[in-house]
Amino acid sequence: MDGLVRFMNGLWGRLGRIALGLALIAYGLAVLGGTLGIAVAVVGVLPLLLGLAGRCLLEPLAPRRTA
């Protein structure tokens, strides 16, 4: 799990989450529309913001490294 968290906090993981967030927002608003579209767009905000912030939701589940 630690490797996944490191990848997701790296450049490509962050760019992937930003792209996924933008895609969900665009799909929800442009394709679905209505209440479902808004819900999908709101869900898309989460990976977008986390990608921009460089944080991963799985971080609390990753084992802690001690020095």
Report the C-alpha gap between 35 and 17 in whole angstroms.
23
- For the chain, give the mean pLDDT: 87
Question: What pLDDT is recorded for position 20?
Answer: 93
Distances (CA, A) of 19 to 23, 35, 51: 6, 22, 9
pLDDT of 65: 67
The pTM score is 0.78
Instruction: Give the separation between CA 21 and CA 40, rounded to whole angstroms.
Output: 10
pLDDT tens string 25-49: 999 999 998 999 999 999 999 999 9
- Average pLDDT (1-18) is 86
Per-residue pLDDT at 26: 96
